[in-house]
Copies of this chain bind each other. A is one copy, B any other.
């Protein structure tokens, strides 16, 4: 299998989920990079400074990529000469995170894409849940409207029963308790539910219980980044 190669490279750089820099990759090559794409320039510059990865930003270009269109992405991909780096604010770029349109535009230009290993809250939560990791669905966010959210949960539970796939849902911290309330109202008592909060952080907490046992606890989830996983 071969493909024409432009000689250019786009690096995809994950950023640790919490302040504890547990996993360190060899990012020394970044000192050669002049073009940076990221969700929030200030966050990326803070990360680069804190980890002493770039001594000076003077001849570097930083481009924000949140909410860009396909045509913006094509213009940005044209800047990848000979190399650029796409950063996430936390976790893996392009996964529950912006960036995939630039990667797609880069593929069109035969730019080599080099994804670097790092923390993914989705993978950490799934590993630690004890639920099925052979097949799974990541839904992103469930709807804000309650009736729509409950319908989504109902459908996802049916999928879990039929296909044995683990269902993974993300929520913004201040809505964690609203989502948990809907999950406990809709899911069967025997369904296993994992709540995984503040992954890799000081207050990491990953608990898997049957829905009937969660109901007995009357918990209020903290307002920290949390993933909810359920299945059989």
Contacts and interface: CB of A to CB of B under 8 A. Distances in A.
Contacts of A204: 114
B22 A95 contact: no
A44 to B, nearest CB: 16
B1 A127 contact: no
Given A25-B23, A135-B138, A208-B104, A1 B128 contact: no
A132 B101 CA distance: 9
* Chain A contact surface mostly: mixed
A100 B22 contact: no
Copies of this chain present in the complex amount to 2
Given A1-B205, A22-B26, A137-B136, A130 B117 contact: no
Contact of A107 (B16, B26, B208): B208
A24 interface: yes
A53 interface: no
Interface of A: 1-3, 12, 16, 22-26, 92-97, 99-101, 103-107, 113-120, 122-140, 165, 192, 195, 197, 199-200, 204-209, 217, 219-222
